[in-house]
Structure 1
C-alpha cells in the first residue's frame, strides 16, 4: 500500500515539474518576442503614413508603432470627412435646388440642360459646363432684410469673362467676389518658402530613415523639420519670423539636397508626396467651403448692432406715452391726389435712408406720403424711429403686415415673403461673344400682390426697395403716361424670357420680352384691379408649385415674369442703376448720373461685407449723431 502510494506521489511530482519547465520556456520565448516586436514597432512608426508625413521623435523611447499611427490617420480622416460633410450639408440647406433643368444658352445659340448637382460639385467648371440653379435660404424674422438670392444660371460658364468666373468655383457664389476684392499683397513669401521646404522634407524623410547608412542625415532632417514646424506655429507673416530664419532655411535646403542625392526607391517618395498633397488639398477645400458658408451666413444674418437698435427702439416705444403717433396725419394716408411711396422692409436704417434720400432730393415734400410695411417684430421700432425723426414735410406711415385680415395668406407665408426676392442669373452678354454677365434680378415678393387690397383708395404708387438710394427728384415719375401698362420698371433686354425658356416651362410667353426688375417701380393700381392681376398671379404661383417647384420664391419669380408679360412700361435706364451690391466695375460717372442707386446683390451697404467704394453714397443719408446709433455702436 505504501509502495503504491509512494509511486503515485512520484508521478504527480514529475508532472508538476514538467509543467513548470514548459511555463519557463514559454516565458523565455515571450521575453525574446517582446523586444523584437517593440523594435519592429519603432521601425513601422517611422514609416507609417500619417497626416504630417513623418513622426516627430525626440528620443527613441518616444517612438510610436505603425498600428497606432494608422489609427491616428483614420481618426484624422474621419474627423475631416465629418466636418466636410457637415459643411456640405449646411451649404445644401442654404442652397436648395430651384429647378432641375435651368436653361443655359451657348454662344452658337444651342440650348442645353444643366447637369445635376452632383456633377457640379464633383468637377471643375470649364467653358460650356452647365451650372445648376438653386435658391438660397429665406432670412428668418430676426435676420436682416437682405433679399433672398436665387441662382438661376441661364448660360454657359466661360473662363475669365466676369468677376466670379476666373479661378472661382461658382458654387461659392459672391463670396468669390468679396475674396478677390479683399485679397492683400503677399506678406508671407518667406513663410511660403519654408512651408515648401517642410513639404519636401516630410516626403523624403521616411525613405531616408529606412537607409541604415544615413542615420546622421535622418537625425538632421528630423531636427530641421521639428525646428521649422516650431517656427511656423508661431509665425503668420514674414515679420513674425526670427532673425536667424535665413540660416535655418539654408540648413533645411542643404539637408534636402543631400536627401535627393541618396539612392532610394522613388516610388516611396512619390507616394508620400502625393499623400501629403492630397491631405493638404482636402483641408484647403474644407476651409474654402467653410469660408463660403460663413460669408453667406454673415450676408443673411442681421448684424448685432442693427439688432440692438431694433430692440432698444422697441423698448423705448413701450416706455413712452401710449399716443397714436400717426393720428394727426391719417387723412393723408388715403388721399389719391398725393404722391404715395411704398417700402417693404424690416430694417430700420435701410428704410430710413430710402425716405431721407428721396426727401432730400425733392423740390416739394408736402405731397409725399411714405408707407413702410414691416413685420410685427420690427413694427414698434419703426414707429418710434419715424416719430423721432422728421423728413421735412413728408408723411410716414408704418404698417404691420401681420394685422391685415387676408384669408388666402397665413402668418408664416407673410413673414417669409415680406421682402423682394433676388435671383442670381448668369446669362450670355449680347454685346460680347466672349463674356457672360451675372445679374441679381430682384422681383416682387408674394406680399407685393396685396397692394391693391391694402390701399383700396389709391390709384397709383411708387414701390421702392429698401436697398436703394435716391439721388434725384422722383416727382417726374407721376407725370408719365403708361397707357395700358401696369408696371413701370427698368428692363434688362440682354436677358430675355427666351433665355429662360426651359425654366419658364410650357407656359406661353413672348421669347423676345425683356426681364424687368424691382427696386424702382411705378404701379398703376387702378389698371391692376381692372385686370385682376393678383388673381392671375396666385393662379400661376399655384400651378408652378404643383409641377414640382421646391420653394415659394422659385414659383414667385416664374409667376411674376408671366403675370406682367406685355404689361411692363420700360423706364429709361438713367432712372435706376443696379449692381452696387455685387458689381465692382461700375463707373463713377454713371453712378453720379443715375436717379436711383440699387444695391441689389449680397453686399448690402449696411453690412461690413458691403463694397467700400459704394458705401459712401448710402452712408451720407444716415443721421450719425442719433443717440440710439451711438448706444448700439452702429457704424456701417
Structure 2
C-alpha cells in the first residue's frame, strides 16, 4: 500500500505530461493548417470554395434561408479587396477636382464634351522598363456594360480580353452546371414535402454527384465515363420535381440567389483578371531582368572599358546629330538605336545619349560597348551621378520615363447617342526637363522614347524650321486643352490648343534656355505640391502641358503613328508609311501581352543570336 501511494501520483504526472505534449503537437499542426486555409479562402470566390467543400456541407448551405445572401456578401468583400489592390497600385486624382469636374459636366450644354475624371489604376513604381500609364477615365451616366464602358473602366485589358476570347468548347460541362443550378433551386422546396422523401434523397444524391464531378474537371475530355447516363438521370429527376406542386416563389427566390451569385462571381473574376493584367504589364519580364543582371556581372568581370578621346569630343560637338533616349530597358533602347541607324543615309554624324539609372547603368555600358551600330556612337549616362549646374545637390536625381495617360470622354446630354472615346497620350517626365542642364554644349537634340522604332531617315529633322518654337511634336487634336480645363486648373491657356505627344520630339535647347522653361516647369510642380495637387504623375501632365503652352511646333502626322501598344485596328498601309511607330499603351512589344500582329515590326531590329539572349531565354 505504501508503494502504491507513491506510484499513482507519478503515473498521473506522467500521463499529464503526455497529454500536454500531444496537445502541443496537435496545436502546432492545427495553426499552420488554419493559416493556410485562411489564405486559400481569401483568394477564391464563394463558388470555388463551395465546390471544394464536402458534398454534405455544401448541401446544408443550400438549405439555409439566407445562404445566397451570405455568399454574395463574401464575394462583394473579395471584390472590394481587389479594388483596393488596384487603387494601391495606382494614383488617384484629388476629390475636389472630381467634384468640380462633375459640376462642370452637368452644366455643360453645347461644344466640346468636357471629360470628368475618376481614379484609375496606375502602378506607383512606373520607373520600370515599360514606363507607367496614369489611367484617367470619365464619369458616365447609366450602367452601360458594353466594350466601350469596359475600356473606360479597365483600359487595354478589355481590348486584350476581346482579342483572346475563346468560344465555349465544353458543352457537356456547361450542361452539367446548368442542371446543377436548377436542381439546387428546386431542392429546398422538395425537401419540405413529407411525402417526397425518396425524390428529395435522389435529388440530393444527384447534386452531390454533380458537385464532385465539377470539382474535378473543367473540360469535356476529362469527364468520367457514362456521363450521359448521369445527365439523363438528373433530367428525369428534375422532370419529376417540376411536375409537383411546389411554392414557385421559393424556387424563383432560390434561382435568383444563384444567378446573383454567378454574376457576383463573374464581376469578381473580371476585376481580378484586370488587376493581374495590370500587374503583368507593369512588371519587368524575368528574361529582361536576367539580361540586365548578366550584363552587369559581365561588366565587372571585364577589363576596364577604354574610351577614345575622339568619342568624348563627339559627345560635346553641337554640329553632330544628337539623339537622347531615357530608358532602363537594354533591349528597348538597343532596338531604337538599331532601327534609327539602319535607316540613316549617313550614320557617321549620329550620336546617341542613353540616360538610365544606377541599377541598369553598367548593363547598358557593357551592351553598347560590345555592340556597334554602323558608324554611330553611343554614350551611356547615369542620371543619378550627374552633377548639374543650379541643381540642389541635396536632392538626388532619379530617372523618370515619359508619362502615359488614358483619357476617356463622350457626350453628357445624350451619352447613348455619342460614342465614348478613349485616347492615349504621353508627355515629358521630370527627367526631360533637365535636358538643357545635362547637355550644356548642345543647341538641338531629338528625343526618342524607348518604345518606338524608326522606319525612315530622320536627318531632315535637323534642318526643320520650327518657327521659333521650342519643341517640335506631333499634335493630338482629338484631345484639346479645353477638354482638360478642370484638370489644368485656373491657369490661362488656349482651350483650342491640341495635346501633343512624346515619342519623337525636336527640342531647341537654345530657345529653351532663353525662356528658362526648366524653372517654369519646376515652379508649376511646386505650386501644385503646395496646393496638394495629388501624385507626381498627375502633376507632370499638368505642368508639361502648361510649360510648353504656345511653344509647340506641329510636326506632320506622317512622322509618327501612335497606338501600337493599345489599338488593334491600325491600318497596315498607315503603319508601313509612317516614319516612326510608337508603341504607346500597356501592350509593349517586348511583353508577352504585346499585340501579336505588331511585334514583327519591332522584333526585326533584334539580334536574337546574341549569346546573352539565349542564356536568359530572351525571345519577345
Shorter-chain TM range is 0.7 to 0.9
Shift of 1:502: 1.0
* Inter-CA distance 422–565: structure 2 relative to 1 (3 Å threshold): same
* Inter-CA distance 138–409: structure 2 relative to 1 (3 Å threshold): farther
Shift of 1:322: 1.7
Aligned mates of 1:74, 1:434 — CA distance in 2: 38
Pick one of 87, 92, 95 that aligns with 1:97: 92
Deviates more, 1:215-224 or 1:294-303: 215-224
**Which residue is equivalent to 1:244?**
226
- Secondary structure at the aligned position of 1:333 is classed as helix
Shift of 1:470: 0.5
Where in structure 2 are the equivalents of 1:256-275 lying within 5 Å? 256-275=238-257
Map Cα deviations across residues 454-478 of structure 1 (whole Å, 9 max, x no partner): 1001000000000001011111111
Shift of 1:76: 6.6
* Inter-CA distance 212–71: structure 2 relative to 1 (3 Å threshold): closer
Pick one of 114, 122, 141 that aligns with 1:136: 122
Deviates more, 1:64-73 or 1:238-247: 64-73
- Secondary structure at the aligned position of 2:490 is classed as coil
Larger Rg: 1
- Secondary structure at the aligned position of 1:518 is classed as coil
Aligned mates of 1:233, 1:86 — CA distance in 2: 25
Aligned mates of 1:545, 1:329 — CA distance in 2: 41
Aligned mates of 2:238, 2:448 — CA distance in 1: 65
CA contact (8 A) 1:423 1:440 kept: yes
Q: Does 2:368 align with 1:386? A: yes
Deviates more, 1:270-279 or 1:397-406: 270-279
Pick one of 164, 173, 182 that aligns with 1:191: 173
Q: Does 2:537 align with 1:536? A: no
**Which residue is equivalent to 1:449?**
433
**Which residue is equivalent to 2:510?**
526
Shift of 1:263: 1.2
Pick one of 304, 307, 315 that aligns with 1:333: 315
Pick one of 547, 556, 559 that aligns with 1:563: 547
Map Cα deviations across residues 335-375 of structure 1 (whole Å, 9 max, x no partner): 00000000000000000000000001111000000000000
- Secondary structure at the aligned position of 1:145 is classed as coil
Relative to the length of structure 1, the TM-score reads: 0.82
Q: Does 2:378 align with 1:377? A: no
Pick one of 84, 88, 104 that aligns with 2:83: 88
Map Cα deviations across residues 217-243 of structure 1 (whole Å, 9 max, x no partner): 112212222222232223222333345
Shift of 1:150: 1.5
Aligned mates of 2:361, 2:490 — CA distance in 1: 42
Where in structure 2 are the equivalents of 1:469-548 lying within 5 Å? 469-548=453-532
- Secondary structure at the aligned position of 2:134 is classed as strand
Shift of 1:565: 0.9
* Structure 1 gap segments, 5+ residues each: 1-48, 115-129
CA contact (8 A) 2:478 2:498 kept: yes
* Structure 2 gap segments, 5+ residues each: 1-45
**Which residue is equivalent to 1:284?**
266
**Which residue is equivalent to 1:4?**
none
Relative to the length of structure 2, the TM-score reads: 0.84
* Inter-CA distance 454–157: structure 2 relative to 1 (3 Å threshold): farther
* Inter-CA distance 93–189: structure 2 relative to 1 (3 Å threshold): same
Pick one of 182, 203, 212 that aligns with 1:230: 212
Q: Does 2:276 align with 1:294? A: yes
Where in structure 2 are the equivalents of 1:28-177 lying within 5 Å? 80=75, 83-100=78-95, 101=97, 103=101, 109=110, 131-134=117-120, 136-139=122-125, 144-153=128-137, 164-165=147-148, 168=150, 170-177=152-159
Aligned mates of 2:372, 2:187 — CA distance in 1: 73
Aligned mates of 2:365, 2:465 — CA distance in 1: 35
* Inter-CA distance 526–565: structure 2 relative to 1 (3 Å threshold): same
Aligned mates of 1:227, 1:66 — CA distance in 2: 16
Shift of 1:164: 4.8
**Which residue is equivalent to 1:462?**
446
Shift of 1:73: 8.6
* Inter-CA distance 409–176: structure 2 relative to 1 (3 Å threshold): farther
Aligned mates of 2:198, 2:587 — CA distance in 1: 57
Where in structure 2 are the equivalents of 1:281-430 lying within 5 Å? 281-325=263-307, 327-406=309-388, 408=391, 414-415=397-398, 418-428=400-410
- Secondary structure at the aligned position of 2:601 is classed as helix
Aligned length: 563
- Secondary structure at the aligned position of 1:574 is classed as coil
Shift of 1:404: 1.3
Pick one of 198, 208, 212 that aligns with 2:194: 212
Shift of 1:424: 0.7
* Inter-CA distance 112–468: structure 2 relative to 1 (3 Å threshold): closer
Aligned mates of 1:454, 1:435 — CA distance in 2: 45
Aligned mates of 1:341, 1:158 — CA distance in 2: 48
Map Cα deviations across residues 251-284 of structure 1 (whole Å, 9 max, x no partner): 2222212111211222222232233233333232
* Inter-CA distance 391–295: structure 2 relative to 1 (3 Å threshold): same
- Secondary structure at the aligned position of 2:148 is classed as coil
Pick one of 526, 529, 535 that aligns with 1:551: 535
- Secondary structure at the aligned position of 1:425 is classed as strand
Query: CA-atom RMSD, angstroms?
Result: 3.2
CA contact (8 A) 2:344 2:457 kept: yes
